[in-house]
Amino acid sequence: MSNINWFFFIVVILTATLTSLTFKSMLRTYYKVFSLILGVSIFLVSYISLLEVLSRPKPKNLEILNKYVKEVTLLHVSWIEGDSIHILVRLDEVKEPRLYSFPWDPIQAQEFDEALEKGRENNQEVRISNPFFISNLEERKTLIYSAPARSLPAKKAPEVGITAYDPDAEKKSYENIQRERNEED
């Protein structure tokens, strides 16, 4: 989301610059009004289109920034039979999960689904090798595996607090033990 905010900021600055240059020129007034209306329209249309794009899965072949990532964590898979496969993945350096659309492949969809089932049963993450770009023919088959379960965070040593100090506590317990022994005899 923050990347889109920067993209929108850049579009706004460029459009505002072009509009202000046209507005400051020595053109007639209706050209200036038209350029102002056009600039505001570009702001609104670009903002609405960016918001609409956020709710859509990104096609696999449009991935640019994370195209060469080695592995991703597979979170969810769904498909429209005969049309496309949609996978939700988490990239290692990115907090938010990403939704991608892949061309329909029934074998690939089945592999993703089985891997997720197996990962849920074993309480493990499902990792897949780079689904966006495959460098050679040997890596054409997508490598799917369950990552070992993450270790739990280290526990802190318990802190014992002092609630009250009784200097005679040892004497009392020693006397109780002596009484019990005397009663047994």
pLDDT tens, position by position, 66-113: 778 888 888 889 989 889 999 998 888 888 888 889 889 888 888 888
pLDDT tens per residue, range 4-35: 677 778 888 888 888 888 877 777 888 888 88
* Closest among 111, 177, 168 to 145, alpha carbons compared: 111
Distance from the Cα of residue 148 to its chain's centroid: 20
Domain boundaries, the chain: 2-54, 58-146
- CB neighbour list of residue 156: distance below 8 Å, 6 or more residues apart: none
Distance CA 148, CA 151 (A): 9
pLDDT of residue 86: 92
Task: Give the SS3 label for residue 112.
Answer: helix
Residue 135's pLDDT band (cuts 50, 70, 90) = low
Distance CA 72, CA 90 (A): 6
pLDDT of residue 119: 86
